[in-house]
Amino acid sequence: MRYNLDQVIDRKDTNSLKWEFMGHLAPGCPEGTLPLWVADMDFPCPKSVIEALHARVDRRIFGYSSHRNEAFMAAVTGWYLRRFGWSIPPEDLLYSPGIVPAVGYLLEILTRPGDGVIIQSPVYYPFESMIRHHGRETVANPLKDDDGYYTMDFDGLERKAAEPETKLLVLCSPHNPVGRVWKEEELRRLGEICFAHGVTVISDEIHCDLVRRGVKHIPLKTLFPEQSRRIITCTAPSKTFNMAGMLFSNVIIHDPDLKTAWDGLVNKQLGLFMPHSLSIVAVEAAYNEGEEWLEQIIDYLDGNLAFLGNFLQKHLKRARYRLPEGTYLAWIDLRSYGNEEEILPRLIREGRVLVEGGSIFGAGGKGYIRLNAACPRSILEEALRRMAGVLEG
């Protein structure tokens, strides 16, 4: 079926964090502010998901539930086999309510207080928050910025991975917020450095399904089958199918000892590791029947991100922007328009547009914004028009 992705769906009275709780990020947002911040889409979920949820609701009971059945596992593993040629043993597919909690659990299992964990900033900021929360040390290896095209600093990575205190690296692939989809040679070099120094990699691949046409995402695990125990991959249907509220993430662990340790956390924190009865059927339906929907979403996102680039060239000429290879997030350099501390309040107060400031993503982010382009084009166009009115007016 064809989806009308231009349709504006009213998200008020749905407890939407993005639309109804903007005050969490920016207290005092004026009425009518357009939210282009937190990473969920303003598009309806696949029809198969809606129908599966209706059918499950009609059963009328929502007791404790488990996803550990053959049909569910086949749905998830089948998706990664079809999309990436990656065969995942069902017994290696574990559940977490989110990737950020999963990173926290893995930090607890794999490291000790004071151990070093490498991140490559600017990067998704909850990684560093989780590292600090668990009393581990952040080892910053900032990306190299070549006129908006980001690459990894392998010389720096080699030095930092060689430090005896460094135990772990959190890889963001595709990278949020800069939008890089790492090439095979980049991933191979990263893996070679880490594994040579005994550094385990947690690979956050939540945006793996959302890449531009002609761009290929490569799961890190598929390049290093002999290093299965050194790679933990985290994925989720949340970004792919716009189901973040379902609180379901996949944690793929191949090391038997690590799985045993993970199960120990399950026994200690049982409620956190028990998916909701509705999320189980939604995830299964999405992976089994959501592919046609996703292909339409990818085309629409490609159009939105190209439209954004054309708009900036015409109306915000001092902004610097490079089409992201992956994600639906635009990383825009606004430094030529002034200080971030001045620009963001003006965009909210005068333009009624909410975006995220780049400084929260760490080194190299100050003066940038992260803009969520996953919305009907009319909303994107209006938000950009308001931004131009503030910054160029």
What are the tens digits of pLDDT across the range 194-207?
Answer: 999 999 999 999 99
Across 103-113, average pLDDT: 96
* ∠ CA 309-314-319, rounded to 5°: 60
What are the tens digits of pLDDT across the range 22-70?
Answer: 988 788 899 999 999 999 999 999 999 999 999 999 999 999 999 999 9
Q: Strand locations in the chain, DSSP E?
A: 34-35, 93-96, 116-119, 137-140, 144-146, 149-151, 166-172, 200-204, 231-235, 249-252, 320-321, 329-333, 353-354, 356-357, 368-372
- Domains detected in the chain: 17-45+291-391 (3.90.1150.10), 51-289 (3.40.640.10)
pLDDT of 145 reads 97
Query: What is the rounded average pLDDT for all residues in the chain?
Result: 96
In 3D space, the residue among 201, 184, 228 whose CA is nearest the CA of residue 118 turns out to be 201
Report the amino acid identity of residue 165.
Answer: E
pLDDT of 264 reads 87
Q: Report which DSSP code applies to 22.
A: G
pLDDT of 319 reads 98
Q: What is the SS3 string spanning 157-196?
A: HHHHHHCCCEEEEEEECCCCCCCCCCCHHHHHHHHHHHHH
pLDDT of 271 reads 57
DSSP bridge partners of 232: 202
What are the tens digits of pLDDT across the range 160-196?
Answer: 999 999 999 999 999 999 999 999 999 999 999 999 9
- Report residue 268: phi and psi, to 5°: -80, -30
pLDDT of 270 reads 58
The upper half-sphere exposure of residue 233, i.e. CA atoms within 13 Å in the direction of its Cβ, equals 25
The better pLDDT of the pair 144, 1 is held by 144
Contact 324, 331 (CB under 8 A): yes
The H or E element that residue 300 is part of is helix 291-315
What are the tens digits of pLDDT across the range 92-102?
Answer: 999 999 999 99
CA–CA gap between residue 388 and residue 316 (Å, rounded): 6
CA–CA gap between residue 207 and residue 216 (Å, rounded): 12
Q: Report which DSSP code applies to 211.
A: B
What are the tens digits of pLDDT across the range 316-368?
Answer: 999 999 999 999 999 999 999 999 999 999 999 999 999 999 999 999 999 99
How crowded is residue 257: how many other Cβ atoms within 10 Å of its Cβ? 10
Q: What percent of the chain has pLDDT over 70?
A: 99
Quick check: pTM over 0.95?
yes
pLDDT of 219 reads 98
What are the tens digits of pLDDT across the range 260-293?
Answer: 999 888 777 655 678 999 999 999 999 999 999 9
pLDDT exceeds 60 at position 90: yes
Contact 294, 209 (CB under 8 A): yes
In 3D space, the residue among 368, 373, 324 whose CA is nearest the CA of residue 180 turns out to be 324
